[in-house]
Structure 1
Amino acid sequence: MDLGLGLEDTHVLVTGGDGIIGSVIVSAFLSAGANVSSLDITHSQDSQPSVESLSPGKLLNLHADITSTSSLTTAWDSATSAFGTVECCIAAAGLDLSVLPQSGITDMDPSTWNRIFTTNIHGTFLTTKLWLCGLRDHISSSSASSSSANTEIKNPGLIIIGSEAGHFGVETQAAYSASKSAVQYGLLSSLRVEVPKIHARARSNAIAPGA
């Protein structure tokens, strides 16, 4: 009986890979034999990042700011150069309750609201867009060429890390709650229609951790 997860050599990209949740996700995929690209704003801005072999998987740490199209695209291109098309994407980067100030709506600075939305919604949108575009481009290149370099995509999937705050709300964290509702409801519902049209076997889901 094969008890493997079938993730060997699958390219998994994790945003927020150096965070509390993200680092556990990275470790789990490495243990399953995946090639993992860990993107985080805390990673060193090394001009020549190197792949680290952590048997059975391989790890590539890359600096990336998910709110910046250029920063995220640069990191994504480096990941693709190292491991090929991103097959499985875990969108875990974002501002969470551990770093956000407690504030009701009446006292909230509009700049705080905007910063949370830019990171948690716009950053997740950019991440999702790059993943989907990568799948589409891979399929297009495979259709145009019979080269063996165009290997079949394995385990295509997207997981958005949401929050139970997106379900129930938090009195002093309206912006955070609203941002998580946006990605785990509105964005995900739209993706469930669009994603299968790009790749028939691709899946999109969200996980909402809570206390």
Structure 2
Amino acid sequence: MADSTTPHSEDGGESSDTCFQQCSGSKLTDGPPQESQLTASFALVPMTTPVTVEDGYCTPFFRTMPSDVRERLDTAEHKIERLEDVIKECEPRTTAQALTIQKVLSQGDKSLEAKGAQITKIETGLSELRKAQLDLRDSKETLSDGMSFMHKELAHICDQTTYLSSLMDMQAADLHAELDGLNEQVSELRNLLIW
């Protein structure tokens, strides 16, 4: 039968040296428990109390802790559990919001792509319009040059027409003078024939 001072676990077996060290601050072979930095803060219960393990901690350690510390730990654990519950509750909503944001961003990207295509079409149209304006300007310049050439040609034709008209008038006057001279000669010849 085990001694009453021998540490035991919940199943009746002897607890490990580590658990005993956590409670006493010394090894089993060190003799009487020595006061350490941990045990100095709490009044240890007599080691005759069986040592059991609860939730991974030595029971005597928690028995020696002030009640407010245990309450603080319980409160902290409760808050952690509540936070975990809140996180679990918010997770679907957060996921839905993330999906909605991704959908909106995707739609925004598509809208930007469509607007970019429209801008490209507008730029292409403006470029073609500028080219057409340049072609029209060149055509106007060409037409203006052609009109100027035609005006010069018309002026030259008018000058030639005036010159030819004057020449024809002179030739007609000469012909009339020659005809008058011929008529006089014919009259003289007739007079001679009569005599």
TM-score range, shorter chain: under 0.3
TM-score (norm 1): 0.18
**Larger relative contact order (C-alpha < 8 A, sep ≥ 6)?**
1
Greater CA radius of gyration, 1 or 2?
2
Greater helix percent: which structure? 2
Greater strand percent: which structure? 1
TM-score (norm 2): 0.19
